[in-house]
Amino acid sequence: MPLFDPYFITIAVIAVLVVGLSKSGLLGSLGMVGVPLLSLIMPARDAAGMLLPVLLAMDAIAVYTYRREFDLRLLSIMLPGAAVGTLLGWALWAFVSDDAVLLFVGIVTLVFVLDAMLPLRKKLEGLPPSRPWGTFWGGFAGFTSFISHTGGPPFQIYALPQRLPPAVYAGTSAVFFAIVNTAKLIPYFFLGQLSVHSLELSASLIPVGIIGVLIGIFLVRRISVKWFYRIAYWLVFLLALKLVWDGARGVFFGL
């Protein structure tokens, strides 16, 4: 990997900066473009391994910032499923392609956004969280997060309709993914994803990620609830289209 290549550095910095902004809760699931962007300059599996330590550093900042602003009940519903999803991702690591995961996540996310525009979803918003539904989406988030750090949309499918205040939503997301990402460390080590070279690259990008988190935290506390969710849904919709496109190209055309 050409560490001092301008193209390499530009793509890596953009990817990590976007992920950092998403960790604050500002850009929601847009942070899942981290691995697809990095795959332009390195193999996708290598990108996932390199990005994990950076994610953990950003998680630490986000969790500390929102340490008093998170929904404990929502976490208690989703985290058991996430543990199962993480173990499943580990078991199927060698059999599930990155493109298949991107396509599946993209389709489900697109359906989620379209469903959010229907009257039925509006009637369901704000109702008490369903434990079976939340456990399922927590498992889905854990699985896709393990494979390619794309757990954002499954998490949002369950969390966004709860209409939490922006800071509470951001804090809940931060705690959830901090726990999920920490749980990946041992499996990633045994899968050979944490090499000395990738850790050196991770260390060089951690400051960029932290800057992104701090910028996002500054902005998320200054945006209205209405605009926060309007932006979140539109960003998730655009991201879903990209994921479906990228995943379909890989699965059906080998591109």
pLDDT of residue 126: 56
Which of 2-11, 120-129, 210-219 is the most confident on average? 210-219
Q: pLDDT at position 185, please?
A: 93
Q: What is the pLDDT of residues 149-178, one digit of tens each?
A: 878 878 888 888 888 888 888 889 889 999
Residue of 92, 46, 31, 30 whose CA lies nearest to 236: 30
pLDDT band at 232 (very low <50, low <70, confident <90, very high): low
Res. 124: pLDDT tops 80: no
With 0-12 / 13-18 / 19 or more C-beta atoms within 10 angstroms meaning exposed / middle / buried, residue 30 is buried
Over 60: is that where the pLDDT of 73 sits?
A: yes
The CA-based angle 193-172-229, given to 5 degrees, is 105
Nearest to 84, CA basis, from 190, 192, 183, 194: 183
pLDDT in tens, 168-204: 888 898 899 999 999 999 999 998 888 888 888 899 8
Nearest-Å Rg of the Cα atoms of the chain is: 17
Average pLDDT score over the chain:
81
Question: Does position 234 have pLDDT exceeding 50, yes or no?
Answer: yes
d(Cα 178, Cα 184) in Å, to the nearest integer?
10
| 8 A C-beta contact, residue 79 and residue 179 | yes
Number of neighbouring beta carbons within 10 Å of residue 195: 12
pLDDT attached to residue 3:
52
Please give the model's pTM, rounded to 2 decimal places.
0.77
Q: Are 178 and 171 in contact (CB under 8 A)?
A: no
Domain limits, the chain: 6-253
Distance of CA 35 to the CA centre of its chain: 10
Most confident of 50-59, 192-201, 228-237: 50-59
- pLDDT at residue 213, as a whole number: 83
Q: Say if residue 137's pLDDT is above 60.
A: yes
Of 73, 40, 74, 52, give the one whose Cα is nearest residue 193.
52
For the chain, what's the residue count?
255
Q: For residues 251 and 213, give the distance between their C-alpha atoms in angstroms, rounded to a whole number.
A: 33
% of the chain exceeding 70 in pLDDT: 82
- The two structure tokens encoding residue 18: 């976007």
Least confident of 12-16, 37-41, 75-79: 37-41
Q: Determine the pLDDT at residue 120.
A: 47
DSSP state of 96: S
Tokens of 14: 């953009």
- Please choose, from the candidates 82, 20, 29, 23, the residue with its C-alpha nearest in 3D space to the C-alpha of residue 229: 29
CA neighbor of 187 nearest in space, from 62, 73, 88:
88
Which three-class secondary structure string do you get for 48-94? Answer: HHHHHHHHHHHHHHHHHHCCCCCCHHHHHHHHHHHHHHHHHHHHCCC
Q: Say if residues 193 and 45 touch (Cβ distance below 8 Å).
A: yes
Per-residue confidence (pLDDT) for residue 82, from 0 to 100? 96
Do residues 142 and 90 touch, judged by C-beta distance below 8 A?
A: no
